[in-house]
Structure 1
Amino acid sequence: SPLIGARTVTQLEENLKSLEFKLTPEQVKRLDEASKPADIPFPNSFVRNYDRFIGKNIEVPRKFEAISTSCNFGRINL
């Protein structure tokens, strides 16, 4: 997802034009497949071990399980 960090009106207008860009459902699927984490990503991999090093032995079920959601965070579902 794009981060808008425009410092001028021109930059803002150019950033907003990116909202007009559309992906096909197949393109979205390919991107989703390519970006699936193979393992627990940072910082979760770090946090898991950090808790152990500072003496926190709290077991939390599925603490770092990948989150699946049906929310639409700006993605246009075609």
Structure 2
Amino acid sequence: MTCYDCTQQDRTGTPAVGVCARCGLAACQDHARVLVAQVSQSHGLGPSTAPIAARRFVCHPCDTAERAY
């Protein structure tokens, strides 16, 4: 699988290291972001957050769009 953003920039053949959790496109190491994601579950009157954070793999455009708010 090759990186979608590299293909759009005529840099074909760049291997992808993962798939964006938001849009589902493949991304290489240069176009990917690994974010911290808190895992929570409802318990009783409110949510309970896990003591260990999870990882979330997103492409650069989705990361930029999510941080725009």
Q: TM-score, normalised by structure 2?
A: 0.25
Larger radius of gyration: 1
Higher fraction of helix: 1
Task: State the TM-score, normalizing by the size of structure 1.
Answer: 0.23
Higher RCO by CA contacts (8 Å cutoff, separation 6 or greater): 1
